[in-house]
Structure 1
Amino acid sequence: MEIGKKIKNLRLKKGLTQEELGERTDLSKGYISQLERDLSSPSLETFFSILEVLGCQPNEFFDQDTTVQKVVYKKEDYTNYCDEEKGYHIEWLVHESNEKEMEPIRLILEKKGEFKEFEPSLSETFGYVLKGAVIVQIGQRTYEAKEGETIYFQAAEEHKMFNAYDGVTELIVVATESYL
């Protein structure tokens, strides 16, 4: 097992530099570097101190499954929601996306369908129109995107999407996590 590599991955996930990890554990940046390259082995006390700062339990650290991330999501992994009254269907393409920084969905708008209104936030939204056309209302302004076109906006104002096509519109939408 490459202990150093796992320590480095945990540090990077926490957004810490080697120097910051060293400061929080009373170790030098050079020593952290040696640990991460498996050139040195920490004492148990030092190891537990590092794990505490990195927010990882020893059993989690040594559990082989925690290092494997899910990369491919199949149709059976998707989660669905349908609002027949407003005429839209959402398919969450990554089932745990609400825990991640991006939330990719497939949005289907029925004829005259509209997606719910969102409050202003710090998130960003990207969309690609697979079929049909969509109107995006941001504040008082409206924008239309047709099949093969892309939308991208910062969600600093109330925003909403409407079907602008005489039929079903389908798009992929990815929104980033809001940090309000």
Structure 2
Amino acid sequence: MDIGQKIRDLRIRKNLTQEELGERTDLSKGYISQLEHNQSSPSMETFFDILNVLGQTPADFFNDAAPSQLVYRQADQTVYDDDEKGYSLRWLVPESNENEMEPVLITFEPDGTFKTFEPSPAETFIYVVSGQISLQLGEDEYIAKRGETIYFHATKQHQIHNHSTGKSVCILVATASYL
């Protein structure tokens, strides 16, 4: 196991610079760099301080479990059809609601409407694969057609629906527990 590389990966995942990690652990940026390049070894106390700032337990840090799944086949995906509202929702990554991002494929029938969402801290990205999608964000409406994207912070009540006379398909990726 490359301890320095693992510290570096965790630091980057926490969106910290070497200097910020050093400040939070009373270490210098240079020392953090030496640790990440395996040019120095920390004391146990220093190592535990670093892990604490990085949100890791020693058991988690040294767990060499098999890498998580990276490729998800269609058979891994889950589909939910709402005939009443006229849409089909396909979770592209199983259990993605436990991750920071949740990607789904939504197929809308003509006049199909997805549920209404209350304001939240989520960020949402929508890519229109075919047709046209309308986003009602608070009092404003935004329309995107095939090949266009919508990106917004979900700070207002919002809802998406099919804005074309035929079927529309979009890929939606949201942070937090959006869906």
Partner of 1:142, secondary structure, is strand
Identity %, equivalent residues = 56
Cα pair distance change 1:22/1:166, threshold 3 Å = closer
Aligned partner of 1:165: which letter? S
Structure 1 length normalisation: TM-score? 0.80
Partner of 1:64, secondary structure, is coil
1:17 corresponds to: 17
1:8 corresponds to: 8
Partner of 2:143, secondary structure, is strand
Cα pair distance change 1:155/1:61, threshold 3 Å = closer
Q: For structure 2, list consecutive stretches of 5 or more residues without a partner in the other structure.
A: none
Q: Aligned partners of 1:144, 1:27: CA distance in 2, in Å? A: 50
Aligned residues, how many?
A: 178
Aligned partner of 2:53: which letter? V
Cα pair distance change 1:19/1:119, threshold 3 Å = same
- Structure 1 window deviating more from structure 2 (18-27 vs 79-88): it is 18-27
2:172 corresponds to: 173
1:29 corresponds to: 29
Cα pair distance change 1:148/1:27, threshold 3 Å = closer
2:141 corresponds to: 142
- Structure 1 window deviating more from structure 2 (109-118 vs 139-148): it is 139-148
Structure 2 length normalisation: TM-score? 0.81
Q: Deviations over 1:96-155 (max 9, x none)?
A: 433333322101112322111112334333222222333322223333333333333343
Partner of 1:156, secondary structure, is coil
- CA-based RMSD: 2.7
Q: Aligned partners of 1:17, 1:96: CA distance in 2, in Å? A: 30
1:61 aligns with 2:61: yes
Q: Give the C-alpha shift of residue 170 in structure 1.
A: 1.3
Q: For structure 1, list consecutive stretches of 5 or more residues without a partner in the other structure.
A: none
